[in-house]
Amino acid sequence: MDLRRTAPRTAPALAVLLVLGLATGCSGGAVDGSPGAAGLRDRYFPKAGNGGYQVDHYGIRLDYTPDTGRLTGTAEITATAEQALSSFHLDFDGMDVDEVEVDGKGARFNRAGQELTVRPSGELVKGRTFRTVVRYSGVPRTVEDPDGSEEGWIETADGAVAVGEPVGSMAWFPGNHHPSDKALYDVEITVPKGYEAVSNGVLKARTERAGRSVFQWHAAEPMASYLATVAIGRYDVRTSPGAAGTGGSAGAAPSAVPVYTAVEPGLVKKSAPALARIPDVVAWGSRRFGPYPFSSVGAIVVPDGTLGYALETQTRPVFSGAPDADLMVHEMAHQWFGNSVSPKSWRDMWLNEGFATYAEWLWAEDRGGLTAEERFDAFYDEDTDVDPEADGSYWDFPPADPPGPEHISDDPVYYRGAMVLHKVRQKVGDKAFFALLRGWAAARRHGNASTADFTAYADRTTGEDLSAIWRVWLEGDGKPDHR
Ligand code: ARG
Ligand code: ZN
């Protein structure tokens, strides 16, 4: 039975629903709710996310055996219904679903592509908080992005790493996989003895159970699912009490932010300089962008060539091979821009990448390197001394309007996105510009924002007429005539 296409409310269909309801102990009223939408109609990833509910918390328990690549998982998803629901969708790509329960009762489910449709035994009234438990197993998939890069679950020589931008997280846990639905997470990972298992946030406990090691991670601040990570392997783990004076989470008294790094043993030496910078970068970011938004920090360095990119996974970016300081700055800047202030849709990627790129320019400027103005000029002139790869590709499309899902991580989103910010800085001056960056990070802290939200915020708070910048630099086609 295909539960995705709920039968129209003809008499026979209604009778079937009622019988189903009785058979599963439904308390009646099944005809009032309607199915939650299968996707949020994101322009680039229309099936990503699901309608009709918001997730409050994910409790994910994983058991992984590197030798076989087999993962067993249980996802406990606590969500609130935003409409009366007769059924709802989760995004889940690959693996086998063994069992689904809603509020302790067995639920029917159906799968079609990335859509896992769940029909609880009784309808969920609007406003109700409900808990879905999905038990699953198998060898998780590696997902190929529209741009050809890999995400999802990626095996390494002695373990695996999970990265999710934009839609890879559905390969290892079912959920509402769109950045607009942020939630809290607890991730528990069981691995054979001798392996480390790393995720986002704080390691609350590490225990031994039946000869295996159990790691309990807690992400205490809201997180978009694409920023969730798990890394399993024989990592070199180091912890330190933290970066002083950067402020704790959500109103906590200023205190050290604990640093937790996990590094591929062969890369420890090469990674050390960039990792040693983490406290400095966090302190610098806290001055430039406002208090560091999370209660922990760190990094995961996976073997060279595991991924073709680094990812700003929340509190603990993943680097494929040893990072350099600039890349560290970029991924740390995302903790403010992208992770705390997350995009409302994948069209808003430049709010992540333009800002993180501009942070690299600022870091250099603040340390006596090229100024952002010099870098802006060099990029405008496509000066290969400053940008060896300069080939005019950042003029391909306006940063806030990638032509397709395969372009959301292209150069215009990063470099021309950064240039938009520099144009604003030129127009409003340093004082107002840095107040804008801090104000924006504070105004949308732990939330979501769109491009229109940002331009409206900048217009309002700077009191300047920025419309020409938006029109030409953010939304216009081709290379602007004047710098
Ligand atoms: N957001 C990552 C960064 O800028 C890059 C992710 C690249 N992903 C991709 N599918 N191209 O650090
Ligand atoms: Zn980035």
Give the domain CATH number at 424.
1.10.390.10
Counting ligands in written order, the one closest to the CA of 166 is 1
Q: Is 145 in the pocket of ligand 1 (CB under 6 A)?
A: yes
What is the distance between the alpha carbons of residues 1 and 325, in angstroms, rounded to a whole number? 54
Q: What is the pLDDT of residues 207-247, one digit of tens each?
A: 999 999 999 999 999 999 999 999 999 999 999 875 544 44
Best of 307, 311, 328 to mutate for ligand 1, by most ligand atoms within 8 A of CB? Answer: 311
Domain count, the chain: 2
Answer yes or no: do 369 and 326 share one domain.
no
Q: Residue 250: inside a domain, yes or no?
A: yes
How distant, in Å, are the alpha carbons of 53, 140, 150, 335 from that of 71? 27, 7, 19, 29
Residue 167 lies in a domain: yes
Is residue 16 domain-resident? no
Q: What is the pLDDT of residue 242?
A: 56
The answer to whether residue 6 sits within a structural domain is: no
Q: Which of 108, 102, 155, 111 is nearest to 133 (CA)?
A: 102
Q: Which positions of the chain have pLDDT values less than 50?
A: 1-30, 244-254
Question: Do the domain assignments include residue 98?
Answer: yes
Residue 49: which domain range? 32-342
Q: What was the pLDDT predicted at 240?
A: 87
Indicate whether 160 and 288 sit together in one domain.
yes
Q: Is the CB of 309 under 6 A from ligand 1?
A: yes
- In angstroms, what is the span from residue 167 Cα to ligand 1's centroid? 12
Distances from the Cα of 351 to the Cα of 23, 142, 203, 390, angstroms: 50, 27, 30, 22
Q: Which residues pair with 216 in a beta bridge?
A: 188, 205
Q: Give the ligand whose atoms come closest to the C-alpha of residue 359.
A: 2
Output the pTM of the full model: 0.92
Do residues 332 and 424 both lie within one domain? no
Write out pLDDT tens, residues 145-174: 999 999 999 999 999 999 999 999 999 999
94 with 151, same domain? Answer: yes
Rounded to the nearest angstrom, the distance between the alpha carbon of 124 and the centre of ligand 1 is 37
Residue 68 lies in a domain: yes
Report the CATH number that the domain containing residue 194 is assigned in CATH: 2.60.40.1730
Residues 432, 319 share a domain: no
* Ligand 1 pocket check for 353: Cβ under 6 Å: yes
Measured in Å, residue 358 CA sits from the centre of ligand 1 at 16
**Rounded to whole angstroms, how far apart are CA atoms 191 and 209?**
10
Domain boundary among 309, 342, 375: 342
Say yes or no: 212 and 79 in one domain: yes
Place of tokens 């406290």: 279
152 and 224 inside one domain: yes
> Are 144 and 289 found together in one domain?
yes
356 in the same domain as 274: no
Question: Same structural domain for residues 116 and 195?
Answer: yes
pLDDT at 268: 98
Residues 146 and 283 grouped into a single domain: yes
> What is the rounded CA–CA span in Å between residue 340 and residue 336?
5
What's the pLDDT score for residue 255? 53
Regarding whether 303 and 447 lie in a shared domain, the answer is no
- Among 324, 342, 360, the domain boundary falls at 342
Give the per-residue pLDDT at 28: 46
Please report the pLDDT score of residue 291 as a whole number: 97
Q: Is residue 217 part of a domain?
A: yes
List, for residues 439-469, the tens digit of each pLDDT value.
Answer: 999 999 999 999 999 999 999 999 999 999 9
Among candidate residues 342, 377, 407, the one where a domain is terminated: 342
Atom of ligand 1 nearest to the CA of 331: 12
pLDDT value at residue 23: 38
Q: Does the beta carbon of 54 lie inside 6 Å of ligand 1?
A: no
> Which residue puts its alpha carbon closest to atom 10 of ligand 1?
149
Please check whether residue 23 lies inside any domain of the structure: no
Say what the pLDDT of residue 8 is: 37
Nearest ligand to the CA of 358 is 2
- Reported as type and span, the H/E element at residue 161 is strand 159-163
Q: Which of 145, 150, 151, 165 to mutate to test the pocket of ligand 1 (most atoms within 8 A of CB)?
A: 165
Nearest to 409 by CA among 352, 335, 480: 352
Give strand pairing partners of 238: 261
